[in-house]
Amino acid sequence: MNTITSGFIRQCVVAFAMLAALTVILGVAYPTVVWAASRVGSNSAEGSQVTDAKGCNAGSTLIGLDPKAPSGAADTFLHSRVLGSADDPMATGDPAASAASNQGPNSETLEHNIAARRALIAQREGVEPSAVPADAVTGSGSGLDPQISPEYAAIQIPRIARNTGKSESAIREVVDAHTSGRQWGFLGQERVNVLEVNLALGHTACK
């Protein structure tokens, strides 16, 4: 009987010891190591945040954001491509709505939205609708890409220059400085980072 009791107690002690050890290892040590590793040399664990010159959180390096000028203020921003999946003509302003719209090439809704977007952008930039590039009126594969084509950036330069009082050549230099070439020289297309350009132009997220 004593042998049975002592064996049971021994098993309970071992079980509790294993429980305590695994709790410390898997519940404390492992999460701590993963948390620490995620913050070494990168801020991606915090959403790849970007701060402006005043230290305010201006956005993310991985997620597009279409800026809006304050009410009554001149539009001095470089705009992104269509963000989100809403079926309104521009579908911008809510990066959280990143699911696909499920509108196929034969969709009358998609055709209407693209035509409406092209007309709105042409009016905003003072160009003919035929000058508005495809990426200006369509979303990216993820719906959240932070870049636009150099062609889309180019038609926005005159507006930004006009509303900021800067020369078009000065704005173009900023855009060129934040234009990336094809990945590894042959993948994808040249692209302009919208957030980086806006920050370089002096925009701030501070209120």
pLDDT tens digits for 81-117? Answer: 887 554 455 554 444 455 566 677 788 888 888 888 8
Say how far apart CA 46 and CA 145 lie, in whole Å: 18
Q: How far is CA 37 from CA 26, 41, 42, 47, 191, in A?
A: 16, 9, 9, 15, 31
* Spatial contact of 192 and 147, defined as CB atoms under 8 Å apart: yes
Say how far apart CA 81 and CA 39 lie, in whole Å: 31
Q: Which two tokens stand for residue 45?
A: 């664990």
Backbone angle region of 137, left / alpha / beta, with phi > 0 → left and psi within -120 to 50 → alpha: alpha
Q: Report percent pLDDT > 90 for the chain.
A: 31
Q: What is the pLDDT at residue 26?
A: 92
pLDDT tens readout for residues 33-66:
888 877 776 555 566 777 766 767 767 777 777 7
pLDDT at 121 over 80: yes
pLDDT tens readout for residues 129-145:
999 999 888 877 666 78
Q: Which two tokens stand for residue 140?
A: 């990216």
Q: How far is CA 50 from CA 21, 43, 139, 205, in A?
A: 40, 9, 23, 10
Q: What is the pLDDT at residue 64?
A: 74
Helix (H) or strand (E) holding 80: none
What global pTM score does this model have? Answer: 0.69
